[in-house]
Amino acid sequence: MQDRLKGEMKQAMKNREKVRLGTIRLVLAAIKQKEVDERIVLDDQQVIVVLDKMLKQRRESIKQYRDAGRVDLAAVEEAEVLVIQEFLPQALTEDEISDMVQSAIADCSASSMKDMGKVMAILKPAMQGRADMAIVSTRIKAILAA
């Protein structure tokens, strides 16, 4: 994954794609920071976790910028979201998310909101980087509250 990112960074340099290049550099910096902090070399799954975190940060920023009427800054963040999403696995469809949530609830025999953590523990590894976990959490709550 990191080799792919570095290759894409070189290609963005050659093509003079400023936004893409800047975003990829931000991603590589975040990965390097995590490696230095934890004194490890990240594998692909850990890189996906970093990308997912960056994506979540961008989405929150977009919402805040829109609420503040700063459409120009929201557009920059949206461009970064598109670049980051290129490196994440194929996103899950609404139906796939629903099926996985139903399956996880059945697997751990969840019956109330107390079981929310068990359900999330089953789903998070499978959905990391493929679905917005806030949406998944909302779906689980709706089902368990019913």
Please state, for a pLDDT cut of 90, what percent of the chain lies above it.
Answer: 72
Residues 98 and 126 in one domain: yes
How many domains are there within the chain? Answer: 2
CA gap 62, 76 in Å, rounded: 9
Q: Looking at residue 63, which CATH number applies to its domain?
A: 1.10.1510.10
Residues 62 and 116 in one domain: no
Please, which pLDDT band fits residue 144 given cuts at 50, 70 and 90?
A: confident
Give the largest CA-CA distance in the chain: 55
| DSSP per-residue string spanning the chain | -HHHHHHHHHHHHHHT-HHHHHHHHHHHHHHHHHHHHHTS---HHHHHHHHHHHHHHHHHHHHHHHHTT-HHHHHHHHHHHHHHHHTSPPPPPHHHHHHHHHHHHHHTT--SGGGHHHHHHHHHHHHTTTS-HHHHHHHHHHHHH-
Please, which pLDDT band fits residue 122 given cuts at 50, 70 and 90?
A: very high
User: Which residues span the domain enclosing 112?
Assistant: 94-145
When pLDDT is averaged across residues 3-28 and rounded to a whole number, the result is 96
Asked if the model's pLDDT at residue 14 lies above 80, the reply is: yes
CA gap 131, 97 in Å, rounded: 8
Residues 76 and 99 in one domain: no
Residues 99 and 52 in one domain: no
pLDDT tens digits, 17-65: 999 999 999 999 999 999 999 999 999 989 999 999 999 999 999 999 9
The pair of three-digit structure tokens given for residue 93, joined into one six-digit string: 């469809």
Residues 106 and 78 in one domain: no
Last residue of a domain, one of 68, 86, 104: 86
pLDDT of 129 reads 82
Residues 10 and 81 in one domain: yes
